Amino acid sequence: MARIEPSDGIDRPLSAPAHIVMEGVGLSYFTLQQETEALRDVCFEIARGEFISIVGPSGCGKSTLLSLISGMLTPTQGSVRIDGEEVSGTSSKVGYMLQHDHLFEWRDVLGNLTVGAEIRRMDRKKARAKAETLLERYGLGGFAGYLPSQLSGGMKQRVALIRTLVAEPDILLLDEPFSALDYQTRLTLQEEVFRIIKDQGTTAVLVTHDLSEAISMADRVMVMSSRPSTIRSVHPITFEEGSHLSPWDRRQAGRYNGYFNAIWKELEQR
């Protein structure tokens, strides 16, 4: 069995220039009753085009971390930088896809795909052309005029993904995007989304409860501790067969079980 090097998890130097940098990031939520310290001293660098999966106990701050990268939240400590610039507010360079990404039921697929462009007052024609190209490329070419109620759960999530891609983000944040789907659909979508992301060279950060999904899609898996959450460890995922194995092939690869067992044990220890 392949030996897996333990990882210190902090600030691993990367050969490619960092795309996203988190430095000493802390985030506390304040309500009238209490303060909740969600994240403490998170230090991490993500390279351009890298795929990172984040796993950790429920409520530890994984979604919070994505919100910080998206600019929807501002850190209470430290800084988050994209391409060397401090994140301040949301940007169309960062796409965000959620578990239940609601489509507008009264708009057809194409109408859903161009809604972001309309809100941002982007060129409608350009957005429409982009949407049509993406639908075609990702197997939904015949569905532009369908209403969401006429699509399966898997197709809806694919439309939601394409909607985030219309804005041509170079960072994609995925917060448990497959967890509401049945097992078979989930496996199919993992394959497709993986291919789309590699195709576009997008930097991706995926939060998931599914360890098998985390390992089979990512270049590195980040394990978070319970709250106040910090990075517990980071596992680089490499396969002897090469770096372009699909999630399906990775699950059959020799090193896969070693990664799974090592990370599973860590998650159990809390």
The binder of ligand ADP chosen from 62, 158, 163, 232 (CB under 6 A)? 62
Are the beta carbons of 203 and 49 closer than 8 angstroms?
A: yes
Contact call for residue 38 and ligand ADP (CB under 6 A):
yes
Smallest gap, in angstroms, from Cβ of residue 62 to Mg ion? Answer: 5
The smaller minimum CB distance to Mg ion, of residues 63 and 112, is found at: 63
Q: How far apart are alpha carbons 207 and 229 in whole angstroms?
A: 14
The smaller minimum CB distance to ligand ADP, of residues 40 and 62, is found at: 62
Phi, psi at 97, each rounded to 5°:
-125, 130
State the residue for tokens 């998890």. Answer: 9
The binder of ligand ADP chosen from 226, 227, 251, 258 (CB under 6 A)? 227
The binder of Mg ion chosen from 63, 67, 70, 216 (CB under 5 A)? 63
User: Which residue in 154, 117, 152, 150 sits closest to 132, CA to CA?
Assistant: 117
Smallest gap, in angstroms, from Cβ of residue 62 to ligand ADP? Answer: 3
60 binds, among Mg ion, ligand ADP, none (CB under 5 to 8 A by kind): ligand ADP
- Interface positions, 12-31, toward ligand ADP (CB under 6 A): 29, 31
- Lookup: tokens for 32: 């009238």
CA distances from 201 to 39, 255, 268 (A): 29, 25, 34
Contact call for residue 202 and ligand ADP (CB under 6 A):
no
Are the beta carbons of 86 and 93 closer than 8 angstroms?
A: no
Positions of E strands within 6-123: 18-30, 35-47, 51-55, 77-82, 85-86, 94-98
Among the listed ranges 42-50, 59-67, 86-94, 135-143, the one in contact with Mg ion (CB under 5 A) is 59-67
Burial class (CB in 10 A: 0-12, 13-18, 19+), 3: exposed
Number of residues that bind Mg ion (CB under 5 A): 1
Binding positions for Mg ion, rule: CB under 5 A: 63
Binding positions for ligand ADP, rule: CB under 6 A: 29, 31, 36, 38, 58-64, 227
